[in-house]
Amino acid sequence: MARCIMVQGTMSGAGKSLLAAALCRIFHQDGWRAAPFKGQNMALNSYITRDGLEMGRAQVVQAQAAGIEPDVRMNPVLLKPSSDTGSQLIVMGEIRGQYEAASYFRMKKSLIPEVLEAYESLASEYDIIVIEGAGSPAEINLRDGDSFVNMGLAELVNAPVLLVGDIDRGGVFAQLYGTAALLEPQERERIAGLVINKFRGDPALLEPGLAMLEEKTGIPVLGVVPYTRADIDDEDSLSPRLGKTQVRRPIDIAVIRLPRISNFTDFSPLESHSALGVRYVDSAAVLGAPDLIILPGTKSTMDDLLWLRQSGLEAAVLKLAAGGVAVLGVCGGYQMLGQILSDPEDVERGGNLRGMGLLPCETVFSPQKTRTRVTAAVTAEPFAGAELEGYEIHMGLTRRTGGTPFCRLADGQEDGAAAENVFGTYLHGLFDSGALTERLAAWLLGRRGLSSEQALVESRRDYQERQYDLLADTVRSSLDMAAVYAAMDRYVQNTTGGPSS
């Protein structure tokens, strides 16, 4: 039976995903076959596996850190918010329906068999399973519904728990003490150690507080993890990116921060290029005159297009595009750039909606979701010849009525559209290989009369490997890994509900 360790947090954003990724990498470095697992994920950033199934990106990052191929079993339940109170439910990579929060809460226990089956299947193939919790285990109003999320899942699979608190937000001692105090005694016993995350400064200054925390909770503090500079894809929040200090670079790229933005990790490779500065924009007042405007993916194309129109951003983008500024639309952003969006089956909001009119194409929404991984070659100038590897994930089909295709898929089908300085494509991950990034940077630099003699762009995969190692080295040096291994050993020796004596 595989050993396991579960990472829970005092709140959302405490750093569970990154700590789980670090553990996956550490175990991989130590020669173990490790795999991530999260019973339920809620995120708009999703990914398509090689067999065409949909899963959350957090477990994709963790799988890559572990050196393995992402597998939908690692995230059996995915909720993609579609409104303030409702989400699309995806189980084992397939759409199961649309649920309001209350109705999902009532039915989620029925998913336990499928969640356990996914976990047990992974556990039969790997040495260590790194489990990530969701939110906080101390949401006492939701305890009865914690079937396979935090302590409910830990009990089902008999996992020891690391409880993580975020010192960067302040009040970390209260976070950890309060969370432990609100747990049931048997749940508290599962906590193998406390971890303070995102610390800046001298750890020695924390020692009096750490000693008191251990005394009051009876739980050892296993590490104080410093704020890491590793560049790892965010799961489902743009706040870390919006909080970044913008580095002045020759080329200014503005990504429109749509209200329901999804898969914004598509643009992470651009941020690592020395000539490209990427910023996220949510109002016409701060758009300025960038070299490239990107319309990203969205969970609700029609609603976000209306927001773009009502906010004044559409008019600003149209004016800049008419003046020659380059515009790129990806997935939902590509759909917006067309002439018309039709929704005859009420997939989004029903009816027809005028597009931005920058590309000669028309979109018709349908209930069937396209989920496929593809390889392609760009055919649109000035990027022709760039080899791409990515995935499509969208509702509906787009028909090009003029211009030229953006790229040609390996099976011969055309994708996307291009017309002068405006480009659109359905391909997520289009910058990951580095080939399109190189051509884009050279073209944008050339338009500014700047030298395009840049060093070859490092492939996204090589860059990620370096970042995973940096993250793992940071965590390994600050976390008591011997205690983590010992906790896993104690629990695997006793599979009846707790550690062996």
Token pair in block for residue 463: 């860059």
Encoded tokens for 360: 């000669």
Coil/strand/helix, residue 348: coil
Cβ–Cβ under 8 Å, residues 54 and 68: no
Q: Are 16 and 62 in contact (CB under 8 A)?
A: no
Bridge partner list, 42: 79
273 catalytic residue (yes or no): no
- Strands 417-419 and 422-425 come out as antiparallel
Give yes or no for a contact between 472 and 62, defined as CB atoms under 8 angstroms apart.
Answer: no
Q: Judge whether 227 and 254 are in contact, CB under 8 Å.
A: no
Q: Residue 63 in contact with residue 70, Cβ under 8 Å? A: yes
Amino acid 273 reads H
Which residue in this structure is represented by tokens 């969006």? Answer: 341
Q: Nearest 10 degrees: CA dihedral of 326, 297, 367, 55?
A: 140
Residues paired with residue 398 on neighbouring β-strands, in sequence order: 363
Short-list 322, 325, 260, CA closest to 287: 325
- 220's CB contacts (< 8 A; 6+ apart) are 193, 194, 214, 483
- Give residues with Cβ within 8 angstroms of 427, minimum separation 6: 330, 374, 376, 388, 390, 391, 392, 407, 415, 416
Choosing from 4, 331, 361, 407, the catalytic residue is 331
The three-class DSSP label of residue 187 is helix
Which of 413, 425, 428, 346 lies closest to 383 in space, CA to CA? 425
Residues facing 40 on adjacent strands: 77
CB 27 within 8 A of CB 65: no
Backbone angles phi, psi at 79, to 5 degrees: -110, 125
Record the tokens describing residue 229, joined without a space. 């500079």
Cα gap 498→143, rounded to integer Å = 20
Active-site position among 28, 273, 394, 428: 428
Contact 343, 302 (CB under 8 A): yes
Kindly state the DSSP code that residue 119 receives in the 8-state scheme. Answer: H
Q: Can you name the residues that pair with 232 across neighbouring β-strands?
A: none
Q: Active site includes 407?
A: no
Active site residues: 331, 428
